[in-house]
Chains A and B, each alone.
Chain A
Amino acid sequence: MLAKEIERAGIPTVFVTSLPTIATMIGANRIVRGPAITHPFGLDEAERRRIVERALEMLETEVEPATVWELER
């Protein structure tokens, strides 16, 4: 709901979560599937950088509503 409300205010928001189905159901638009519930931004710095880079790429991309990106393209 946070993602949806912040996007409603016009600020592109990427939601990193390992539960993308729920995120699409409640109305998030830019979703990157994180590796796990306990560590959405990865375990080490290298993994985290890949996730953040993917998220930034999504912020730079025009998307359809409820778009989910996997980590590996």
Chain B
Amino acid sequence: MRAIHYLNQFFAGLGGEEAAETQPTRLDGAVGPGRGLAAALEEVEIVATLACGDDYFGEHEEKALAVLLDLLEAERPDVLIAGPAFGSGRYGYACARFSRMAAERFGIPALAAMHEENPGVGATDGKALVVPTGVNVAGMRDALPRMASLAEALASGRELGPPEEEGYLPRGFRRNRIDERPGAERAVDLLLAKLGGETRSEVASGFDRVEPPPPVTDLSQALVALVTEAGCVPQGNPDRLPTIRAQGWLRYSLAGEASLRSGEYESVHGGFDVTLANEDPNRLVPLDTVRALEGEGRLGRIHDAFYTTTGNGTPVAVSTRFGHEIAAELTASGVEAVLLSGT
């Protein structure tokens, strides 16, 4: 099986910072760290090394990628190996972008090796494996055998085990599998471990973060929208919003409405007792109060529709899509602040 190895100008032996503007180039066989890698590879041969200056890649990314991808395609490799870039941000970014594009564009499995805090880690977008390394070149000896064994796995098409067993960084998705031991036994194991001072989890919490947007400067001039995950709909649920595992969200007009009156609105949420909510739906969507505040001038204007779904058993990817779609409508309507309720 054939591998292509990607290096920056320094590790390819083309020069230091003075050569950082080097354009993409092809070298025969294994070069620099590639020699150590080749020694660790059994079934895979490094047929060529592609190299590019870090600055050239950063400043001319599209051009550099286009040339590198052409050179790569001509070699028809079974795997692309990039780095190790250790803690170098420019080099790590180039490794990540190139390996991601190789996987996306040609379906060539790819791995990029770098320190786990290298900004390049995020640039693979889960399309290429990231093999964690030390922060500097002292981590070379430790990194090469691990890169080699994962490269063999990728080239042969072997199905990979979980990140902690195979030695790559989590790619941001979960795979279901049947375990031989029931959940109760595994939970007791985790509990005992925790009592022993070691906190482990079978499920990594991999939620990304969003920086809080700046506050509203003047609410008395702002357009404010009401959104709810509490399953609030017009009485009788005319659009059949599901009580659980909703596949979509709904928008209902608030034009001319002063309050969400009982008997005109209800909650169909299947995850809590809706008795109190149905007695007074303003307990979920506080229209009566925000209308009063609108009248008093505390709020500029209430958006003339509210958005609703049932946040109950909704997979993360699905509710992310809801949020994305609702946000697009709110943005298009010029909404400047949102009151959201969840149960």
Interface residues of A (CB under 8 A from B): 1-19, 23, 25-27, 29-30, 34, 37-43, 45, 48-49, 51-52, 55-56, 59-65, 67
B287-322 CB contact bits vs A (8 Å, 1 = yes)? 011101100001100000000010100101001101
Contacts of B282 in A (CB 8 A): 41, 48
Q: Provide the bound-state CA to CA distance between A14 and B211, in Å.
A: 14
Contacts of A64 in B (CB 8 A): 212
A6 touches B326 (CB 8 A): yes
B289 touches A49 (CB 8 A): yes
Q: Provide the bound-state CA to CA distance between A61 and B219, in Å.
A: 11
A16 touches B339 (CB 8 A): yes
Closest to A22 in B: B342
Q: Provide the bound-state CA to CA distance between A23 and B343, in Å.
A: 11
Which chain B residues (182-226) contact chain A, with CB distance < 8 Å?
Answer: 205, 207-216, 219
List 19 A-B residue pairs with CB atoms under 8 Å apart, sorted by A's residue number: A2-B311, A3-B323, A5-B326, A6-B323, A9-B330, A11-B327, A12-B336, A13-B340, A14-B338, A14-B339, A15-B342, A18-B343, A19-B342, A29-B212, A45-B288, A45-B289, A49-B292, A56-B299, A59-B215
How many whole Å from B250's CB to the nearest CB in chain A? 13
Binds A, one of B40-48, B110-118, B161-169, B269-277: B269-277
Contacts of A51 in B (CB 8 A): 286
B328 touches A9 (CB 8 A): yes
A55 touches B276 (CB 8 A): no
Let me know if B341 is at the binding interface, CB within 8 A. Answer: yes
The 5 tightest CB contacts between A and B, nearest first, are: A5-B323, A9-B327, A1-B319, A29-B212, A39-B283
How many whole Å from A37's CB to the nearest CB in chain B? 5
Q: Provide the bound-state CA to CA distance between A52 and B328, in Å.
A: 24
Q: Provide the bound-state CA to CA distance between A15 and B290, in Å.
A: 15
Let me know if B152 is at the binding interface, CB within 8 A. Answer: no
Let me know if B68 is at the binding interface, CB within 8 A. Answer: no
Q: Provide the bound-state CA to CA distance between A62 and B213, in Å.
A: 8
Contacts of A3 in B (CB 8 A): 323, 338, 340
Which has the most chain B C-beta neighbours within 10 Å: A7, A17, A23, A41? A41
Kindly list 4 other residue pairs between chains A and B, CB separation below 8 angstroms, not including A10-B331, A16-B340, A59-B337. Answer: A11-B335, A15-B340, A16-B341, A64-B212
Let me know if B284 is at the binding interface, CB within 8 A. Answer: yes
B343 touches A4 (CB 8 A): no
How many whole Å from B63's CB to the nearest CB in chain A? 31
How many whole Å from B302's CB to the nearest CB in chain A? 12
How many whole Å from A47's CB to the nearest CB in chain B? 9
Q: Provide the bound-state CA to CA distance between A48 and B324, in Å.
A: 28
Let me know if B55 is at the binding interface, CB within 8 A. Answer: no
Contacts of B336 in A (CB 8 A): 11-12
Q: Provide the bound-state CA to CA distance between A53 and B343, in Å.
A: 19
Contacts of B339 in A (CB 8 A): 13-14, 16, 52, 55
B288 touches A4 (CB 8 A): no
Q: Provide the bound-state CA to CA distance between A18 and B277, in Å.
A: 15
How many whole Å from B328's CB to the nearest CB in chain A? 7
Closest to A48 in B: B289
How many whole Å from B187's CB to the nearest CB in chain A? 19
Q: A12's contact among B212, B229, B275, by CB below 8 Å, is which?
A: B212
Q: A7's contact among B213, B272, B286, by CB below 8 Å, is which?
A: B213
How many whole Å from B102's CB to the nearest CB in chain A? 29
B215 touches A5 (CB 8 A): no
B324 touches A52 (CB 8 A): no
Q: A13's contact among B207, B311, B337, by CB below 8 Å, is which?
A: B337
How many whole Å from B195's CB to the nearest CB in chain A? 21
How many whole Å from A55's CB to the nearest CB in chain B? 6
Contacts of A19 in B (CB 8 A): 342
Q: Provide the bound-state CA to CA distance between A22 and B124, in Å.
A: 28
B341 touches A5 (CB 8 A): no
